[in-house]
Amino acid sequence: MTPLNPEVTKFLATQPLKMFIDGRWVEAKSGATFETRDPGEGKVLAKVAEGDAADVGAAVAAAQKAFQKSGWATMPANDRAVILHRLADLITKHADNLAQIESLDVGKPRGQAAAFDVPHAAQTFRYYADLAVQTRRREPIAISGFDARTVRVPYGVCGFIFPWNFPFLLVGWGVAPALAAGNTVVIKPAEDTPLSTLYFAKLAEEAGVPAGVINVVTGFGHTAGAALASHTGIKRMSFTGSPEVGRLIAEACGKNLVPVKLELGGKGAAVIFDDVNVDAVAEALAGAVTLNAGQVCCTATRWLVHEKIHDAFVKKATSTLAAMKIGYGANPETNIGPVVSEKQRMRVMGYLDRGMKTGAKLLLEGGHAEVKGYEQGYYVKPALMTGAPDNVCAREEIFGPIAYVMKFNDEDKGIELVNSSAYGLANSVWSADLERANRVAERLVAGNSWINAHNLFAHGMPYGGCNLSGCGGGVLGPETLADYLRNQTVARPLA
Ligand code: ADP
């Protein structure tokens, strides 16, 4: 196991970690702190400033001032792009530190954070910085009798509340388009995983992002989060997390008539036809459902397997899942790290229990996993369940390494079953018949339909949900930049 980089040790040693408001590192006004834990060891990793409504107020005021006076909102997009590229360069330069911090705080395998989360986030800043340069800010309107145009301007202060499954990656997806458009931001990371966002603020400072443009308030959801969502100084809000909290955020924003983007949970399905390479698909889906210990909102957790290949598929999936190495995130052999917290571990165990009590069966037994040397960590084994489509484990998002397998034999019935979900984030179709795969993909009701793969993300390919999975336009697409620019019509009658 590679030891922590000296920079990471130094970063963690400056406890309690302060928040970043108006270009300064500050304690909570109340002086309160909270603890973030290493889920792999179950031990306290760092003490962090516990911000509340007063700190959110200071952060929003700082962001308002920066929007009006720092020059960020009015500088040409290419000048902002230079700074955002510098920020991306710094993320790349410190990628290993960030991957270590993310792995420690979330529990995810360090290699995954290094290979995906961190470089992908750096790329997000580059993508939106460049897109903003190419975006027309003034469009003439060809209407007789008027000299008119649409001017596209940033909104002002944008609020962001993030979850704990991909803290760093999601900061990139969220704030990069807002910043590239010229807005200023207040970020409330999840209380379980605030560290990489604080490190990000440090890099933003070094990159020359003006004071007050990026503010980070660490703290709890019902205090700091709720204060941010209901602050009248916010002009646009973005939330990523559970539908339950998403509803609260939307209500708060509704009261202030603030537009909101919601990226919520999912109960993604994979529809596997009988013409696939069974072993390859079983391996791919076993990988998908265990990625980030199953704490991925868009992953495939309902597997609809054609009855002709069902038994062979289950056999291969079971052996693949059973062979996966559960362990500490910094161990290079680890495939599945711990889940993020004891609360999350109990949630996963609770679902297994409820599912079984209401008639589901286990094809592969899950439950608590013991990892030698890490007995206090929050480890869970992958599980394969099966049973009726209305079982709680087939309907609700578990957010753990658990898949629910169901048989099907008819294309229409398979589609109907997928679409019976209250969610609508991402599904996949697996078939050698591309005509069929495309046909089915278009009939599945969700923000994303993937073919012969699951969990596909690329800059320029919009990603978002419908129904319980969210609304407000999604992320990663060119439209997301437009979401952070409001249109203003400027018109003069021609005499
Ligand atoms: P989980 O319950 O699994 O932690 P949540 O959806 O509750 O997932 O958390 C996502 C984010 O929402 C976190 O940053 C959390 O602090 C925040 N949050 C939780 N409750 C509220 C709330 N009432 N108002 C605003 N933000 C909240």
In ligand 1, which atom is closest to the CA atom of 228?
A: 25
**63 pocket-lining for ligand 1 (C-beta < 6 Å):** no
Nearest residue CA, atom 19 of ligand 1?
221
- What is the mean predicted confidence (pLDDT) over 136-146? 96
Model pLDDT, residue 70: 98
For residue 306, pLDDT beyond 80: yes
Q: What is the 3-state secondary structure (H, E, C) of the chain?
A: CCCCCHHHHHHHHCCCECEEECCEEECCCCCCEEEEEECCCCEEEEEEECECHHHHHHHHHHHHHHHHHCCCCCCCHHHHHHHHHHHHHHHHHCHHHHHHHHHHHHCCCHHHHHHHHHHHHHHHHHHHHHHHHHCCCEEEECCCCEEEEEEEEECCEEEEECCCCCHHHHHHHHHHHHHHCCCEEEEECCCCCCHHHHHHHHHHHHHCCCCCCEEECCECHHHHHHHHHCCCCCCEEEEECCHHHHHHHHHHHHHHCCCEEEECCCCEEEEECCCCCHHHHHHHHHHHHHHHHHCCCCCEEEEEEECCCHHHHHHHHHHHHHCCCECCCCCCCCCECCCCCHHHHHHHHHHHHHHHHCCCEEEECCEECCCCCCCCCCCEECEEEECCCCCHHHHCCCCCCEEEEEEECCHHHHHHHHHCCCCCCEEEEECCCHHHHHHHHHHCCCCEEEECCCCCCCCCCCECCCHHHEECCCECCHHHHHHCEEEEEEEEECC
Whether 1 has a pLDDT exceeding 90, the answer reads no
Q: Name the residue with the closest Cα to ligand 1, atom 14.
A: 190
pLDDT interval class at 426 (50, 70, 90): very high
Ligand 1 atom having least distance to the Cα of 162? 14
- Place 167 in a pLDDT band, splitting at 50, 70 and 90: very high
Please report the atom of ligand 1 found closest to the CA of residue 188: 14
12 alpha carbon – ligand 1 mean position (Å): 24
Give the Å distance between the CA of 308 and the centre of ligand 1: 43
pLDDT reported for residue 254:
98
243 lines ligand 1 (CB under 6 A): no
Q: Where does the pLDDT of residue 2 fall: very low under 50, low under 70, confident under 90, or very high at 90 and above?
A: confident
Atom of ligand 1 nearest to the CA of 399: 3
Q: How confident is the model at residue 120 (pLDDT cuts 50, 70, 90)?
A: very high
Q: How far is the CA of 244 from the centre of ligand 1 (A)?
A: 9
Q: How far is the CA of 328 from the centre of ligand 1 (A)?
A: 26
CA–centroid distance, 190 to ligand 1, in Å, is 7
Residue nearest to atom 15 of ligand 1 (CA): 221
At residue 387 the predicted structure's pLDDT band, cuts being 50, 70 and 90, is: very high
Mean pLDDT score, 343-370: 97
Which residues have a catalytic role annotated?
A: 263, 297
* pLDDT confidence tier of residue 417, bands split at 50, 70 and 90: very high
Nearest CA to ligand 1 atom 17: 221
pLDDT of 156 higher than 80: yes
Residue 486: band (very low, low, confident or very high) from pLDDT cuts 50, 70, 90: very high
Question: What is the average pLDDT score of the chain?
Answer: 98
pLDDT tens across 10-60, in order? 999 988 999 999 999 999 999 999 999 999 999 999 999 999 999 999 999
pLDDT at residue 131, as a whole number? 98
Q: Which residue lies with its CA nearest to atom 24 of ligand 1? A: 226
Among protein residues, the one with the nearest Cα to ligand 1's atom 21 is: 221
**Is 263 close to ligand 1, i.e. is its CB under 6 Å away?**
no
| Cβ–ligand 1 contact at 241 (below 6 Å) | yes
